[in-house]
Chains A and B, each alone.
Chain A
Amino acid sequence: MRSRVVVTGLGVVSPIGIGVSDFWKAALAGQSGISAITSFDPFPIDGYRSKVAGQVRDFAVERFVNSVHGERVDRYAQFALVAAKEALADSGLRMEKENPHRVGVIVGAGMGGMVMGEREITQLYQQQKPHRVHPNFIPVITLNSASGILAMAYGAKGPNLTISTACSSSAHALGQALHCIREGRADVVITVGADASITPLVFAGFCALRALSSKFNDDPEKASRPFDRLRDGFVMGEGAGTLILESAAHAKKRKARVYAEIAGYAATSEAYHMVIPREDGLEVAHTMKLALADAGVPPAQVDYINAHATSTSIGDAVEARAIRRLFRSRADKITISATKSLIGHTLGAAGAIGGIASVLALHTGQVHPTANYDDPDPACALAGLSRSVQERPVKVALLNAFGFGSNNAAVVFKQVKRER
């Protein structure tokens, strides 16, 4: 029999709060973390079509992690270190009591160490001094720098992997961690999503794709508006989320507090287009269906969806269509929220942070609002969306995440009966 897998610890670094308590309080209040971009300074923002983002404010890694590890990695991996430290403490896991070879790390990251990456590339091209490239450049931009530093910081010697599938990266990290524990290759997996690439080049790249919102530069908090008629593109965000995944038996043995069960996962490709989803939503519906089948949960039991919902015109419409396709008449009975309406699109971190919102919905019976859902777009209106917090018991939550490269992921979380 395959092991059941549960979530026992949470940690987050987000534009609306560092730490789960602040994040969740702000999320339930519908607080927006979107503001005018300041992180480029002194690089001028004037030439950019979009000028807003969900930035993590006042972050200094040494305030949170007292170690040499934080200084040796880029901002995204610093976020990962901080979110993982919180999640480990929250889980009550004591690494000195664990077999380190049974504790793994799986990180989802879309862009990686672009802060240093851009700086070094710029300097090299401007100065043409190859000997002045920083010796840490390669270790920092190598995409597994976060999963590597996490293992070093917390002594986890089990499977150590990085998954990079753009915006679905950390939903796959959750799924792969689930498989890893199910298959008995680890007792615990520190599962992380992290990205921090609100940098002049990456941001210009997303602008060039015409993927970002540009109508709300003067009113940044209105810019991220999934499913709303006035949406005009996504808002870039940054952050990290960590979920401690653990076999149910291991969690029981150490009497851990359990937030939820992670019960199912599916990974598919649309094999269609690098950045455009199939309009009919067929593959997205198929992905959700597979994840539910993996969890052994019929679609009729889903009562909450943490939608991918980036606030792009086509993406939200396709997701809504897929939800209608799969859930049919029940589609309007499912509570839905879009975490990106509050924090923007944190790319590789999005699945993990959406996962945290899903787990907290199961654990607390509260679903955070979808900000700026002011005028439902008939092309994607769903009755379960709301600008207000929704309080109702959630027993089964579905997390969607889709990435460039025709990539889809879905993860199913279930409520766990409290054992006394």
Chain B
Amino acid sequence: MAADPTISLKIRTALAEYLKCDPATILTTQHLRDDLGLDSMAVIELLYRIEEAFDLQIPDQDLVGLTTVGHVVSYVEKRVGKTASPASTKKPLKPSKPKGKKKS
């Protein structure tokens, strides 16, 4: 089985597919509305895709804090780490990350 992409890459890829751009151009610091131009409906569609990709349900009250790419990534990391695994693999993502990763 191919290595799992990271949660961040998966989310940026989903965004890039939606925006029809290169995932490499999407930064975690970008604001979904102000930088990427997603309107509120587009954010809902994005979260729908993320729910499917990570087999999650995002409750309404959690939507408020999800305004940047980084917010979405850390939210999903937190949720996936705690409970479910991504729908595409049966393994939790966090333990599959390279062990003993170096901080630069």
Could you tell me which A residues sit within 8 Å of B by CB distance?
A: 131-132, 134-136, 139
Contacts and interface: CB of A to CB of B under 8 A. Distances in A.
A134 B46 CA distance: 11
B41 interface: yes
Interface of B: 41, 44-45, 48, 51-52, 57
B50 to A, nearest CB: 12
A136 B44 CA distance: 9
A131 B45 contact: no
B45 A136 contact: yes
Given A132-B51, A135-B41, 9 more contacts: A131-B51, A131-B57, A132-B52, A134-B48, A135-B44, A135-B45, A135-B48, A136-B45, A139-B41
A131 to B, nearest CB: 5
A135 B44 CA distance: 7
A136 B51 CA distance: 15
A126 to B, nearest CB: 16
Contacts of A136: 45
A228 B44 CA distance: 53
Contacts of A131: 51, 57
Nearest to A133: B48
11 contacts: A131-B51, A131-B57, A132-B51, A132-B52, A134-B48, A135-B41, A135-B44, A135-B45, A135-B48, A136-B45, A139-B41
Contacts of B44: 135
Contacts of A139: 41
A114 to B, nearest CB: 21
Nearest to B59: A131
The residue in A132, A134, A135, A136 that gathers the most chain B C-beta atoms within 10 A of its C-beta is: A135
Nearest to A131: B57
